[in-house]
């Protein structure tokens, strides 16, 4: 079943219609409520963030995290997990009110698999990500990245904003690479294998896929002074986590005119689409304009396609049970290696 209210005439003239629509915006009530909910969340986040920078810096200084170059991103990642849990009820309400795929169970087995990824991610972080971050940190220090910086003279909030935008662009670039490189795609395919897209799908990431993101996306943090980098990473990680949780959720909205600036649940659903005409499109994470600039945006803003990958061998839970979800999770970790070995022979 395809969930679509596609109107070709609208999509073709979409960009030209933007100017006139901005002058007399008539946003439907449902979208207004979604916008209101996210404006409120955004306002709370903006109020809280300045308060969090100092405690985070204090925490890092107290535990010598930055000085020892160990787990410098741990506070950010922890905050990301907490933010995801905190946003969970709001997303549930939105999914109940305006589902994209109406027949999808809000507590589907697909969600269970993603939740297992969520629970397992700290293990991956400690076992794999931390050693790689240590190596990268040493490399960046050796290359003298933080000395090239003109950012240091700017106010902390401005530095963080610049790094946020830069990191989001590199996230877009990393995403293109994860699709275009046949090797990395085998791992990224696990993220795309979700047929019941939900808020926890944002963390359905194979560890190798996570490493691919890490190598590209978090480079700008090396441009910051250590005492700014840690809170900046915390801010960017948790805001991105909550936002991408929203864009993966089963919510029917394209956010009206905001879709030209921000990625929406509609545009990211199209990125996960099974339809060939949607393949390798809508790569952006938070800011949508990268896809408009590089012409990788699907200009149909009213279609809500089925999601998944055209690979029948990707592991899926056989039945909706915890046991099957755990088995599928284990198989998903091994599948890309098997698939690559199979292709090599
Ligand atoms: Zn992708
Ligand atoms: Zn996704």
Q: Do 190 and 336 touch, CB atoms closer than 8 A?
A: yes
Phi, psi of 105 (to 5 degrees): -70, 135
pLDDT at residue 91 in the model: 85
- What is the distance, to the nearest Å, from the Cα of residue 262 to the centroid of all Cα atoms in its chain? 12
Q: Measured between alpha carbons, how far is 269 from 34 in angstroms, rounded to an integer?
A: 17
Distance 28 CA to ligand 1 centre (A): 30
Q: DSSP code of 304? A: E
Ligand nearest to the Cα of 189, by number = 1
Instruction: Tell me the domain boundaries of the chain.
Output: 29-344
Phi, psi of 218 (to 5 degrees): -100, 10
Distance 159 CA to ligand 2 centre (A): 27
Q: Measured between alpha carbons, how far is 316 from 110 in angstroms, rounded to an integer?
A: 9
Distance 157 CA to ligand 2 centre (A): 28
Distance 176 CA to ligand 1 centre (A): 8
Q: How many CB atoms lie within 10 A of CB 169?
A: 18
Distance 178 CA to ligand 1 centre (A): 7
Tell me the two tokens of residue 212.
Answer: 């691919």
Q: Measured between alpha carbons, how far is 183 from 336 in angstroms, rounded to an integer?
A: 9
The CA–CA distances, whole Å, from 58 to 75, 85, 133 equal 11, 24, 21
Distance 295 CA to ligand 1 centre (A): 16
Please give the chain's pLDDT, 345 residues, in tens.
Answer: 444 434 444 444 554 454 444 334 444 455 555 555 655 555 555 555 555 555 655 655 555 444 444 456 676 777 777 877 888 888 888 888 899 998 888 788 888 999 999 888 888 877 887 778 778 777 777 776 655 556 777 887 888 888 889 889 999 999 999 999 999 999 999 999 999 999 999 999 999 999 898 888 877 777 777 677 777 777 788 788 888 999 999 999 999 999 999 999 999 999 999 999 999 999 999 999 999 999 999 999 999 999 999 888 999 988 888 899 999 999 999 999 999 988 777
Q: Collapse the DSSP code of 110 into the 3-class scheme (helix H, G, I; strand E, B; otherwise coil) and give the result.
A: helix
Phi-psi map region of 308: left, alpha, beta (phi>0 left; psi -120 to 50 alpha):
left
Q: Measured between alpha carbons, how far is 345 from 249 in angstroms, rounded to an integer?
A: 39
Distance 165 CA to ligand 1 centre (A): 19
Distance 300 CA to ligand 1 centre (A): 18
Q: DSSP code of 66? A: T
Ligand nearest to the Cα of 282, by number = 1
Ligand nearest to the Cα of 247, by number = 2
- Which tens digits make up the pLDDT trace of 155-193? 878 888 888 898 899 999 999 999 999 999 999 999 999
- Write out the DSSP string of 143-212: HTGGGS-SGGGS-HHHHHHHHHHHHHHHHHHHHHHHHH-HHHHHHHHHHHT-SS--GGGGG---HHHHHH
Distance 335 CA to ligand 2 centre (A): 19
What is the value of pTM for the model shown? 0.79
In this structure, is the dihedral angle defined by the CA atoms of residues 121, 122, 126 and 132, taken in order, positive or negative?
Answer: positive
Phi, psi of 287 (to 5 degrees): -90, 125
Q: Collapse the DSSP code of 140 into the 3-class scheme (helix H, G, I; strand E, B; otherwise coil) and give the result.
A: helix
Distance 323 CA to ligand 1 centre (A): 27
Q: Collapse the DSSP code of 262 into the 3-class scheme (helix H, G, I; strand E, B; otherwise coil) and give the result.
A: strand
Distance 11 CA to ligand 2 centre (A): 23
Ligand nearest to the Cα of 309, by number = 1
């Amino acid at each position: 079943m395809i969930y679509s209210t596609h109107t070709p005439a609208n999509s073709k003239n979409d960009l030209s219609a933007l100017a006139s629509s901005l002058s007399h915006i008539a946003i439907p009530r449902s979208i207004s409520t979604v916008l209101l909910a996210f404006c409120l969340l955004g306002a709370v986040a903006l109020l809280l963030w300045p308060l969090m920078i100092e405690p985070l810096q204090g925490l890092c200084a107290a535990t010598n995290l930055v000085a020892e170059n160990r787990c410098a991103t741990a506070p950010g990642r922890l905050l990301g997990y907490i933010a995801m849990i905190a946003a969970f009820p709001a997303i549930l309400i939105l999914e109940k009110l305006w589902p994209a795929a109406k027949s999808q169970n809000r507590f589907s087995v697909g969600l269970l698999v993603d939740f297992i990824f969520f629970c397992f991610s700290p293990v991956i972080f400690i076992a794999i990500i931390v050693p790689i971050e240590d190596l990268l940190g040493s490399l960046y220090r050796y290359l003298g990245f933080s000395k090239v910086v003109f950012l240091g003279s700017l106010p902390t909030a401005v530095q963080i904003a610049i790094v946020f935008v830069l990191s989001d662009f590199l996230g877009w670039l990393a995403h293109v690479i994860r699709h275009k490189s046949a090797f990395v795609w085998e791992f990224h395919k696990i993220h795309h294998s979700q047929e019941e897209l939900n808020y926890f799908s944002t963390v359905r990431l194979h560890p190798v896929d996570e490493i691919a993101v890490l190598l590209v996306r978090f480079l700008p943090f090396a441009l910051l002074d250590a005492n700014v980098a840690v809170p900046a990473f915390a801010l960017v990680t948790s805001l991105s986590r909550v936002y991408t949780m929203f864009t993966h959720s089963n919510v029917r909205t394209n956010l009206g005119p905001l879709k030209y600036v921000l990625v929406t649940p509609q545009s990211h659903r199209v990125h996960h689409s099974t339809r060939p005409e949607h393949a390798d499109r809508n790569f952006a994470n938070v800011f949508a304009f990268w896809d408009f600039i590089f012409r990788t945006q699907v200009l149909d803003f009213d279609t809500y396609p089925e999601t998944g990958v055209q690979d029948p061998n990707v592991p899926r839970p056989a039945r909706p049970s915890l046991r099957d979800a755990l088995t599928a999770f284990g198989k998903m970790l091994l599948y890309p290696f098997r698939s690559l070995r199979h292709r090599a022979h």
